[in-house]
Structure 1
Amino acid sequence: MSQKSLHVRLGIVVSLLALFLVSYAIPSFVFSPSNVGNIILSPLFWPYVLAGLTGIVGLSLLANAFLSAEDTPFEDEETAQADGSAPWLRLGALALIMVLVMVALPRLGMVWTAMLAFAACAFLFRTRHPIAALVCAVIIPLLLYAFFAHVAGVAIPQGDFVRLP
């Protein structure tokens, strides 16, 4: 399979998914009271934002496929499928991380658990940028906590050991 045909297929599927979300799923299954004062706090706002971004990604994939001149094969030496048991071990390790996240959430809290899970997944998938992954593993959960706890006024589950302000 070439990269161009992959982008066309993914672009069509993602664009249709975004259209389905905007036209049927969000209006049918996401309920919002009519008296929400702040549009950002409305239960409809973020699903529509994510559906719109999904549509933009799908259309970008299609544009990339039709505007690119070269038709390169999708797999090379770096991206070729691994042989043996390595993919299954990685899948098992990811399942173990998921179970550990569920066990750690009540004890460590959502922010600290998210930091550890992000870092563990980054190293499990052997990122090329380990320093950036560690920085993102710390900063992104803290920024999300700051937004939801202090701006949106949503209580974020805290752990037994360390409490954030």
Structure 2
Amino acid sequence: MSQKSLHLRLGIIVSLMALFLVLYAIPNFVFSPSNVGNIILSPLFWPYVLAGLTGVIGVGLLFNALTSAEDTPFEDEDTLHSEGSTPWMRLGALAVIMVLVMFGLPRLGMVWTAMLAFAACAFLFRTRHPIAAVVCALIVPLLLYAFFAHVAGVAIPQGNFVRLP
């Protein structure tokens, strides 16, 4: 399979999925009260944003496929993966991380569990930027907690051991 045909197929599928979300799924399955004052706090806002971004990505893939002159093969020596047990071991380790997240959520809370899970996944997938991964693992959950707990007024599950203000 070439990159051009892959981008064309993915672009069509992603664009159709975005249309399905915007025209059918979100209006019929996401309910929103009529008295929401701030549009960002509306339950409809973020699904429409994500569906719109999905549509933009689909159109971008279609544009890339239609304007691309080269028909290069998708796989080359850099993208080929070695056969063996390594991919299965990573998949098993990811399953263990997921189970640990489910056990950690009620005990540590959502913020601390997200920090640990983000860092564990970053090192499981052998990131090229370990310092940035640790910084993001610490800062992103804290910023999300600050927004949702203090700006949006949404209660974020806290753990039994450490409570955030």
TM-score normalised over the length of structure 1: 0.94
Query: 1:52-103: CA deviations, max 9, x gaps?
Result: 0110111111112222332222222232133011111111111111000000
Which residue in the other structure is 1:45 paired with?
45
Q: Quote the RMSD (CA, aligned, Å).
A: 1.2
Which residue in the other structure is 1:23 paired with?
23
Which residue in the other structure is 2:87 paired with?
87
- One-letter code aligned to 2:86: A
Q: CA deviation at 1:48?
A: 0.6
Say yes or no: does 1:71 pair with 2:78.
Answer: no
- One-letter code aligned to 1:46: W
Distance 1:140 1:19 in 2: 30
Q: CA deviation at 1:3?
A: 1.5
Distance 2:134 2:63 in 1: 33
Which residue in the other structure is 2:126 paired with?
126
Q: Secondary structure at the match of 1:23?
A: helix
Change (3 A) 1:40 1:129: same
What fraction of aligned residue pairs are identical, expressed as a percent? 84
Pick which of 133-142 and 17-26 moved more.
133-142
Distance 2:61 2:119 in 1: 29
Q: Mind listing any 5+ residue stretches in structure 1 that lack a counterpart? A: none
Distance 1:157 1:58 in 2: 35
Dislocated runs of 4+, deviation >4 Å: none
Query: 1:27-54: CA deviations, max 9, x gaps?
Result: 1111111111111111111111110011
Aligned residues: 165
- One-letter code aligned to 1:36: V
Q: Mind listing any 5+ residue stretches in structure 2 that lack a counterpart? A: none
